[in-house]
Amino acid sequence: MRKKTLSVLLTALMVASMAAGCGKDSGGAGGSSENDGELKGDITFWHSFTQGGRMDVIQEAAEKFMDENPDVNITIETFSWGDFYTKWTTGLASGNVPDMSTALPGHVVEMMDAEAVIPVDDVIDDIGRDRFAEAALSEGERDGECYSLPLYSHAQVMWYRKDLLEEANLEVPETWEEFAEAAKTLTKDGVYGCSFPCGSGDLMATRFLNFYVRSGGGSLLTDDLKADLTSDIAIEGINYWLDIYENCSPKDSVNYAVLDQANLYYQGKTAFDFNSGFHISGVETNSPDLVDSIDCAPLPRLKKDDPIYGAETSNIPMVIWSKSEHPEICKAFIETLYEEETYTDFLAATPVGMLPSITGISDTEKYQSNEIVQKFSNAEQVISEAVELSAAIGFEHGPSVEAGLLTSQSIIEEMFQDIITNGTDVEKAAKAAEEKMNEVFESVQ
């Protein structure tokens, strides 16, 4: 009987441990904090440059910095963007955050709210404040202080296959109506006109809906930072993308995240897609034969005479964490990343994908001599114009936690899934998603 009781207790303990949450782990910067003019100490740098070229340039820059500062040790850890968000939010709770890191604009607002990062105005001034776009700096600004500085920029544009359009005698679409017609026409022979991705755990459906809503001058947030998914333009946008899903998209795209979506375009299975200049390197790597057949254009508009607009610019920021024992090392290292030679090499790792966030780079001979930059000069111009015309999703009302939550909760993605999978009425699903989003907004007040 005793044995049985013991075995029940042991099993109970095992069940309990499996059901309970994970324990916290601890961590933090190590090394000496002594600073007698010479930089000395260990720092950890988290970044999300997972592709080879960019990762290598950053690694080389760190090694060069360590050579010049023998008492400094930089440990680089790399995470995908999705993992990165989980990593820093959980790390913040346990104190396991790096000394410096990359981020996304929406993250920075949350980081500032949590007082997790420190101002970097001195770094910006050393590099040259007037070299940065004011809008990009303002994304990390609070009470007159900048808590982040952009490393590179890109914007969402419409990518298309020139060869498929020519074969079908179609012009590059300029309006959403033309886009839908062209996408439907090109959906044949194993090629989809345009995939509409709405997998949970990513922001793709939010991004696509935002394109449409911004083209009509609307926003997914109200002026008082409430979710707005039931406006006329939002409902119109939801119906528009449902039509694209129904007629031009692989049905599997209901589960697609960013890479699933991009892969289809890389493999030549979609005629249109929406992305930044990163599509060039993706196609070049996966389908080199198609590189000459792709180009991009501004996002479609509601009406032909509407002005060209931008719907989503990403100024990828760098931050220094409050927990860092060596902010001076982080600042000095960040400044070296903006040195012309290093910075140009970094951008050249994904030419046209990463556009400079500071002036005085794009017109240098080295930058201009890049073969991809020359070949895709039209794309570079289209994206550069879009960069100036927009901000991060929801940032049209200024940086806010709500804008970050808009893209990180997958609520819009789940709304589309609900409509597609369960046949829920569009307005009812939009209303439910709006309420759910507002409830999440309230939880962070």
Partner 1 sequence: MKTKKIDYGRWLLVLPALIVVGTLLVYPIFSSLYYSLTTKHLIKATYDFIGFDNYIKVLTDPDFFKAFLTSILWTVASLLGQIVVGFTAALALNRVNHLKGVYRILMIIPWAFPSIVIALAWKWILNGVSGFLPNLLYEMGVASELPQFLSDSSLVFGTLIFINIWFGAPMIMVNVLSALQTIPQDQYEAAQIDGASKLQQFMYITVPHIKVVVGLLVVLRTIWVFNNFDIIYLITGGGPANATTTVPIYAYNMGWGTKLLGRSSAVTVLLLAFLLIVCFIYFKIIGKWEKEDK
Residue 6 interacting with partner 1 (CB under 8 A): no
Site for partner 1 in 101-130 (CB under 8 A): 110, 113-116
Site for partner 1 in 178-197 (CB under 8 A): 192
- Residues 234-253: x where in contact with partner 1 by CB under 8 A, - otherwise, as a string: ----------------xxxx
**Nearer to partner 1 among residue 115 and residue 223 (C-beta):** 115
Contact pick of 33, 35, 267, 368 for partner 1 (by CB under 8 A): 267
- Residues 11-30: x where in contact with partner 1 by CB under 8 A, - otherwise, as a string: xxxxxxxxxxxxx-------
Residue 368 interacting with partner 1 (CB under 8 A): no
CB of 302 to partner 1, least distance (A): 29
**Nearer to partner 1 among residue 268 and residue 356 (C-beta):** 268
Identify which range of 176-184, 305-313, 335-343, 437-445 contacts partner 1 by CB under 8 A: 437-445
Residue 89 interacting with partner 1 (CB under 8 A): yes
Among candidates 42, 84, 98, which has minimal Cα distance to 323?
98
CB of 266 to partner 1, least distance (A): 12
Identify which range of 50-58, 118-126, 277-285, 417-425 contacts partner 1 by CB under 8 A: 417-425
Residue 264 interacting with partner 1 (CB under 8 A): yes
Number of residues that bind partner 1 (CB under 8 A): 51
| Residue 382 CA: distances (Å) to CA of 3, 19, 151, 293 | 74, 51, 20, 17
CB of 55 to partner 1, least distance (A): 21
Residue for token digits 């440059």? 49
387 and 357 in contact (C-beta within 8 Å)?
no
CB of 410 to partner 1, least distance (A): 7
Identify which range of 127-135, 174-182, 221-229, 419-427 contacts partner 1 by CB under 8 A: 419-427
**Nearer to partner 1 among residue 90 and residue 362 (C-beta):** 90
CA–CA dist 158, 203 (Å, integer): 17
Site for partner 1 in 304-343 (CB under 8 A): none
Residue 7 interacting with partner 1 (CB under 8 A): yes
Residue 32 interacting with partner 1 (CB under 8 A): no
**Nearer to partner 1 among residue 172 and residue 426 (C-beta):** 426
Residue 92 interacting with partner 1 (CB under 8 A): yes
Residue 444 interacting with partner 1 (CB under 8 A): yes
**Nearer to partner 1 among residue 192 and residue 241 (C-beta):** 192
Residue 377 interacting with partner 1 (CB under 8 A): no
| Contact residues for partner 1, defined by CB under 8 A | 4, 7-8, 11-23, 86, 89-90, 92-93, 110, 113-116, 192, 199-201, 250-255, 264, 267, 269, 408-410, 414, 417-418, 420-422, 440, 443-444
